[in-house]
Amino acid sequence: MMKRIQMTLLSFVVLISAVSFTGCGGDDDRGGGINLFSIEDDKMLGLQLRDEILANPQEYPILDQGQYPQAYAFLQDIVDDILGSGEVKYAQDFAWEVYIIDDPETLNAFAAPGGYIFVYTGLIKFLEEKDDFVGVMGHEIAHADLRHSTQQLTQQYGVATLLSLLLGEDRELLNNVLGSLLGLKFSRDDESQADQFSVIYLCETEYAANGAASFFQKLLDLGNANPPQFLSTHPNPDNRVEAINMEAEERMCDTAFDSDAQAWMAFQNSLP
């Protein structure tokens, strides 16, 4: 697997000079930072990170899919609805697997490269509306689809360090990269772009396109001074509510919350 990462990174070596001289804004027309990782690298790093998480049940107590088949089917249906919007660039390329972490005290969710999504039960039970949760899922899918994690890794480690993967079986560096993914903090621009694309995705579904804004508003209404890390405090939650609602309005998206409240409650109650 390391050799495959080396080979895909090698394809970028010939492009480094061109990137440096042209000031490339990202890997696709959606903007973003320079990214030395290929799509295959995203998929392989995400898979390895998923396996690291699944192998650490004390820190990440994942609910067994065999014991909670209906809950997982409910979540997968939401993911599939978002992927079916036609706006997710890597809908057919990434894994888009979802996992539930049994931790009622944590308001969190995160997406690994390649579309591996982890959601805490604390976040699920915190949200009163399904559309709020779908907005958050759209945000997380956007981070993976826009490849924010590997863009951040490129900035964090730099070209020279990442290219050292080409020189041999540098397991220590790979472990450091995987560790960095778990503690990754996205930039202000990345968070804003993920908010924007959550609206873009949901605008083409039956869900309220501004669901993520309602989540932020609930935090503000409760006076929560410490929003979860995955939706960082910058930009300010007030500004994010305004920006998300404006995005939905400018795109003339449906913002009516009409999801099945009983189905959402049944899903919440099915969890520990």
Lowest-confidence range among 23-27, 90-94, 156-160, 256-260?
Answer: 23-27
Q: Considering the chain, what is the average pLDDT of its residues? A: 84
Kindly indicate the confidence band of residue 14, based on its pLDDT and cuts at 50, 70 and 90.
very low
In this prediction, residue 221 carries a pLDDT of 83
3-state secondary structure of 99: strand
Which helix (H) or strand (E) segment holds residue 101: the answer is strand 97-101
In this prediction, residue 9 carries a pLDDT of 46
Per-residue DSSP letters for 24-74?
---SSTT--------HHHHHHHHHHHHHHHHT-TTTS-BPPTTT-HHHHHH
d(CA 138, CA 155) in angstroms, rounded, equals 25
Number of C-beta neighbours around residue 26 at 10 A: 14
Amino acid identity at 23:
G
- Name 50's Cβ contacts closer than 8 Å, sequence gap at least 6: 97, 99, 112, 116
pLDDT per position as a tens digit, 69-94 = 999 999 999 999 999 999 999 999 99
Kindly indicate the confidence band of residue 15, based on its pLDDT and cuts at 50, 70 and 90.
very low
Pairing of strands 116-120, 97-101: parallel
Instruction: Give me the mean pLDDT over the 11-34 stretch.
Output: 45
pLDDT per position as a tens digit, 196-245 = 999 999 999 999 999 999 888 888 887 754 555 545 545 677 789 999 99
In this prediction, residue 259 carries a pLDDT of 79
Question: How far is residue 216 CA from its own chain's centroid?
Answer: 17
In this prediction, residue 30 carries a pLDDT of 74
Overall number of domains in the chain:
1
Kindly indicate the confidence band of residue 139, based on its pLDDT and cuts at 50, 70 and 90.
very high
pLDDT of 3 strictly over 50: no
The boundaries of the domain holding residue 107 are 2-269
The phi and psi torsions of 62 (rounded to 5 degrees) equal -75, 130
Lowest-confidence range among 98-107, 162-171, 217-226?
Answer: 162-171
Instruction: Give me the mean pLDDT over the 259-271 stretch.
Output: 94
Q: What is the 3-state secondary structure (H, E, C) of 104-170?
A: CCCCCEEEECCCEEEEEHHHHHHCCCHHHHHHHHHHHHHHHHCCHHHHHHHHHHHHHHHHHHHHCCC
For residues 38, 91, 73, 117, the Cα torsion angle rounded to the nearest 10 degrees is 30
pLDDT of 24 strictly over 50: no
In this prediction, residue 28 carries a pLDDT of 47
Report yes or no: 33 and 154 within 8 Å, Cβ to Cβ. yes
